Amino acid sequence: MLARQLHGENRLCAQRPNLNLLGTREPQTYGRATLKDVETLARDTAARHKLDVEFRQTNHEGELVDWIHEAQAKQAAGIVLNAGGYTHTSVALRDAVAAVSVPVIEVHISNIFAREDFRHLSYIAPVASGTLCGFGIAGYGLAISGLAAMLEAKG
């Protein structure tokens, strides 16, 4: 998901692999909301903060890295990132997040710490500005609101 602040700043929100299956993939873990529901929530929350969203989803790690670089090049206001399984495996995503000055909020629909042991490690969290997990798709709204508060505090 890519977003722009209405006052000229950009904000990037990148969606993880398999999120296109949201609503049908493991609904006991991820719920029945769809990717369109996430997009609607993100747009509505962003609008309340005078932000505009460009929504993106990919199943490809390199594309996520490219979007993070793009956010830096466009002087984005921030990134909301759900890296999905790449959270636990991708040094490349971790390094991309660390390489940009754009604040990144890591989001997970499920509580990764209440799941399999391998999901307890996040390569993203140590270099992210914040991390949210376990709030379902509401986590996206919380991430956008938190990022908006960070931007406002920064002035």
Query: Which residues form the catalytic set?
Result: 30, 108
The angle subtended at Cα 90 by Cα 12 and Cα 148, nearest 5°, is: 25
Which are the contacts of 9, defined by CB distance < 8 A and separation ≥ 6? 75, 76, 77, 151
Residue 130 and residue 97 in contact, taking contact as beta carbons nearer than 8 Å: no
Amino acid identity of residue 76, one-letter, is: A
Query: From CA 80, how far away is CA 132, in angstroms rounded?
Result: 10
